[in-house]
Chain A
Amino acid sequence: MPRVIRGQTGGVGRVKRGLIAAAGVPLNAVMAVALVLAWAPRIRAGIVSLQRAWAGAALGRAIPARENGPRVLAWLAINAVVGPAFLMAMTAVVNTVGIIVHLRPAVNGPSVTFTLSLALLLLSALGLVVAALMGLAEARLAELLLGSGDSLAQRVRELTASRAAAVDARAAELRRIERDLHDGAQARLIAVRLNLGLARSADDPEQARELIEEAWESAGQALTDLRDLVRGIHPPVLADRGLAGAIEAAALLCPIPVATDLVLAGRPEPPVESALYFAAVEAMTNVTKHSQATRAWVRLRHTGDGLRLVVGDDGHGGADPAAGTGLRGIAERLSAFDGTLTVRSPPGGPTILTMELPCAL
């Protein structure tokens, strides 16, 4: 799921950005002149950061800084030429407007005034549009040369990592299921068949009864194994009752009292439900195992653009996401859906885990 990149959209935002871009044309010309001073590193850094801020405002997106390097010098050089050139073009347009304003026609009349006014208006609008386009071109150039391009690269790295973690977790999960089936239900069903086969060929009715009894026991254990397995893959109560119901059911099984406050108007996508459910269960298991808490609480809400699940306890705190696999597991589960885990756990407690996941309902 792609992360939502915030930016001003719609007509108002576009006009505003156009005006900012247009205003940048004279600014860039001034900066081109300032090139003389740019040999001083501090002034150069000032010019570059001012330029980056302007380009960000004009393009409607943040431009992350990049290290000083040849590209910055390239931008200074290009801007030294392009900046004044664009300003001159703009000045030419403004001059034309000025000429029309000062035009003294030989024959004066309403139709002449009207025509001149119309030409003036059109020319001004055209000038503004051209200025905006030039400004945007400059801003784009600044983004290319002064921005690190990091946001995208960083995002690709994050996605690659979270995808690898998700694939790893999936593979490990499948191996566990295979092993559980192999050592559990499958083995028990073999025993059932074995015992029934022996019973079929047994001569002694008493011995046959014993073998059937054993087969009956094994079949029961196979069912127990399968039930435990299913609960671990996709708890039926999650399908039945959704996230709030399933967390409520899990809280009932927690050895310490868990107060629940779960409000959710709709049903998220099943994989999202599953990820948050297992994150909640893992969080409650952590509370039970490590916190020495006497009580815990769980709160679930849908905020403006996502789900927020908070698990807190009155234990001794000091939970370290780097130390155990529990918290890391939660973070990995959530990261597959662009979700985040925030741990607040000062020594002495309390511990509060906040899990957030972008999700529309």
Chain B
Amino acid sequence: MRVVIAEDLTLLRDGLIRLLSAHGFEVVEAVDNGPMLLAALVEQAPDVAVIDVRLPPTFTDEGLRTALEARRRRPGLPVLILSQYVEQLYARELLSDRSGGIGYLLKDRIGDVAEFVESVRRVAGGGTAMDAEVISQLLTRRSRDEPLAELTTREREVLALMAEGLSNLAIAARFGVTDKAIGKHTNNIFAKLGLPPSDDHNRRVMAVLAYLQAGPASPDPS
């Protein structure tokens, strides 16, 4: 599997190269700034890119913006954004083109090597890998939004794990139930969110997006 890495701190870049190489990835290019990243993504068309959100020259969310730009040019290009902190705003922007292949994880998660590698593979396969922190921030909000308010507690839990990128089988294992039972929950979630029947993968992305996008309607007129 061909991967492009963008990280400006040498220590972490070398660590990522070593880690991914050791798990069967082929690191085709490792860059340390936004413009070089864009060139690498467009020219190399890797199976997945692992990108630090903050990159030179601006040292702001250069990595995120570059990833979004690359996906505009190559729709569906799988990208996994790493960050020292997570913002729902950014999660929402990443998912907004609804084509999957998106990861957004705290850098700390690299420390959990097996799970991190699994996340990279999942994103490369067109899935999602949202950090548990994004999800937990969402859960602190009261059930403020239609139609998410209609979901039962268990359905919300299932949706949260779906957002993290877990399959029905993996979610079933978490709860100690059969994946069939989870399948029932996911179908209820799709129905309540009004997602039309399509392939299961796409609907999962849409459900997660609905979860992230659920916000207030229009501004107060006064």
Interface residues of A (CB under 8 A from B): 216, 219-220, 223-224, 227, 230-231, 236-237, 239-241, 245, 248-249, 252-261, 295, 297, 299, 312
Q: What residues of chain A lie closer than 8 Å to B217, measured between beta carbons? A: 257, 259
Pick from A224, A227, A230, A299 the residue with the most CB of B within 10 Å: A227
Known contacts A224-B108, A255-B142, A257-B145; is-contact A236 B54 (Cβ 8 Å): yes
Report A-chain residues with C-beta under 8 Å of the C-beta of B137. 253
Q: In chain A, what residue has the closest Cβ to B107?
A: A223
Q: How many angstroms from the CA of A249 to the CA of B137 in the assembled complex?
A: 12
Residues in A whose Cβ lies below 8 Å from that of B54: 236
A218 to B92, CA, bound (A): 31
Name A257's contact: one of B87, B111, B215, B222 (CB within 8 Å): B215
Interface centre among B54, B89, B106 (most CB of A within 10 A): B89
A-B residue pairs, 8 tightest by C-beta: A257-B216, A297-B220, A259-B219, A261-B219, A240-B61, A240-B60, A249-B89, A259-B216
Q: Given the known inter-chain contacts A241-B61, A259-B218, please indicate yes or no for A249 contacting B88, CB distance below 8 A.
A: yes
Closest residue of A by beta carbon distance from B212: A252
* Cβ contacts under 8 Å, A245 to chain B: 89
A260 vs B218: C-alpha distance when bound (angstroms): 8
Contact sample, A vs B, 29 pairs, CB 8 Å cutoff? A216-B111, A220-B108, A220-B111, A223-B106, A227-B84, A227-B85, A227-B106, A236-B54, A240-B61, A241-B60, A245-B89, A248-B89, A249-B87, A252-B89, A252-B215, A253-B88, A255-B140, A255-B144, A256-B141, A256-B142, A257-B215, A257-B217, A258-B216, A259-B217, A259-B218, A260-B219, A295-B220, A297-B219, A299-B219
8 Å CB contact of A223 from B108, B144, B216, B218: B108
With a cutoff of 8 Å between Cβ atoms, the chain A residues found around residue B219 in the complex are 259-261, 297, 299
- Min CB distance, B110 to chain A, in Å? 11
A256 touching B144, Cβ below 8 Å: yes
User: Taking CB as reference atom, which chain B residue is nearest A294?
Assistant: B144
- Contact residues, B178-222 vs A (CB, 8 A): 215-220, 222
Complex CA gap A277/B50 in Å reads: 31
Given A220-B111, A240-B60, A241-B61: A255 and B216 interface contact (C-beta under 8 Å): no
The one of A231, A237, A253 in contact with B140, judged by C-beta atoms closer than 8 angstroms, is: A253
How far does the Cβ of A189 sit from chain B's closest Cβ, in whole Å?
14
Of A252, A254, A297, A312, the most chain B CB neighbours within 10 A belong to: A252
Minimum CB–CB distance for B201 against chain A, Å:
26
Residues of chain B lying within 8 A (CB to CB) of residue A240 = 60-61
Interface string of B60-82 (1 = CB under 8 A from A): 11000000000000000000000
Task: Point out the residues of chain B lying under 8 angstroms from A219, CB to CB.
Answer: 111
Q: How far apart sit A121 and B192, CA to CA, in the bound complex (Å)?
A: 91
Interchain CA distance A81-B218 in the complex, whole Å:
70
- Contact indicator B84/A252 (Cβ below 8 Å): no
| B144–A257 CB distance below 8 A | yes
Chain B residues with CB under 8 A of A237: 87, 89
Which B residues touch A220, using CB under 8 A?
108, 111
Query: 1/0 per residue B133-172: CB within 8 Å of A?
Result: 0000100111011000000000000000000000000000
Expressed in whole angstroms, the minimum distance between the Cβ of A142 and any Cβ of chain B is 47
Kindly state the separation between the CA atoms of A248 and B92 in the bound complex, as whole angstroms: 12
Contact between A230 and B84, CB atoms less than 8 A apart: yes
Q: Which residue of A lies closest to B216 (CB)?
A: A257
Which residue in B60, B61, B140, B222 is a CB contact (below 8 Å) of A312? B222
Q: Do B222 and A230 touch across chains, with their CB atoms under 8 A apart?
A: no
A259 to B84, CA, bound (A): 28
Nearest chain A CB to B88's CB is how many angstroms away? Answer: 5
Taking CB atoms, residues of chain A closer than 8 Å to B107 are: 223
Give chain B residues whose Cβ lies under 8 Å from the Cβ of A223.
Answer: 106-108
Tell me the bound Cα distance from A223 to B215 in angstroms. 30
- The one of B84, B85, B141, B216 that contacts A295, using a Cβ cutoff of 8 Å: B216
CA–CA, A247 and B54, complex, Å? 20
Given contacts A227-B84, A259-B218, contact A239 B141 (CB under 8 A): no
Given A227-B85, A260-B219, A312-B222, 5 more A-B residue pairs with CB atoms under 8 Å apart are: A216-B111, A220-B111, A227-B106, A255-B141, A297-B220
Q: Complex: how many Å from CA A237 to CA B53?
A: 11
Which B residues touch A216, using CB under 8 A? 111
Bound complex: CA A260 to CA B84 (Å):
26
The distance from the CB of A139 to the nearest CB of chain B, in whole angstroms, is 46
